[in-house]
């Protein structure tokens, strides 16, 4: 159980860091564009481009995050399967020993 909660805590922590970095990036880009002295149409174009760039970066980071979570999930799944198989083998062995001892 401890390993599972540690894994979940790492995922949550990674998500918070990612969200913080992306929010900082977006705030900085928006502030930089709004402060720059340019025509309104140019500013709107830049905002639109930055928004598209930000959306693309967010999508990439989210996909990377999902990939890492999926990989970790598969690792844990394999470990649980191995553990279950070992337990089943020990159970079968104990049952066999019990039958041998009583029969």
Quote the pLDDT of residue 4. Answer: 62
Quote the pLDDT of residue 34. Answer: 74
Quote the pLDDT of residue 103. Answer: 60
pLDDT in tens, 18-72: 778 888 888 887 777 777 777 777 877 877 888 888 888 888 888 888 888 888 8
| pLDDT of 5 over the 60 cut | yes
Which has more confidence, 36 or 86? 86
Put simply, whether the predicted model's pTM sits higher than 0.85 gets the answer no
Three-state secondary structure of the chain: CHHHHHHHHHHHHHHHHHHHHHHHHHHHHHHHHHHCCCCHHHHHHHHHHHHHHHHHHHHHHHHHHHHHHHHHHHHHHHHHHHHHHHHHHHHHHHHHHHHHHHC
| pLDDT of 9 over the 80 cut | no
- Which residue in 26, 16, 20 sits closest to 57, CA to CA? 26
Quote the pLDDT of residue 31. Answer: 79
Q: In angstroms, what CA-CA distances link 1 with 13, 36, 40, 75, 84?
A: 18, 53, 56, 15, 15
Quote the pLDDT of residue 62. Answer: 85
């Amino acid at each position: 159980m401890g390993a599972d909660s540690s894994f979940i805590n790492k995922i949550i922590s990674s998500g918070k860091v990612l969200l913080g970095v992306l929010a900082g990036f977006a705030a900085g880009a928006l502030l930089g564009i709004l402060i720059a002295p340019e025509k309104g149409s140019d500013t709107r174009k830049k905002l639109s481009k930055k928004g598209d760039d930000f959306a693309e970066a967010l999508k990439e980071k989210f996909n990377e995050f999902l990939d890492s979570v999926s990989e970790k999930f598969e690792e844990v799944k394999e470990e649980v399967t191995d553990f279950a198989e070992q337990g089943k083998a020990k159970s079968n062995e104990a049952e066999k020993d019990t039958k041998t001892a009583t029969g």
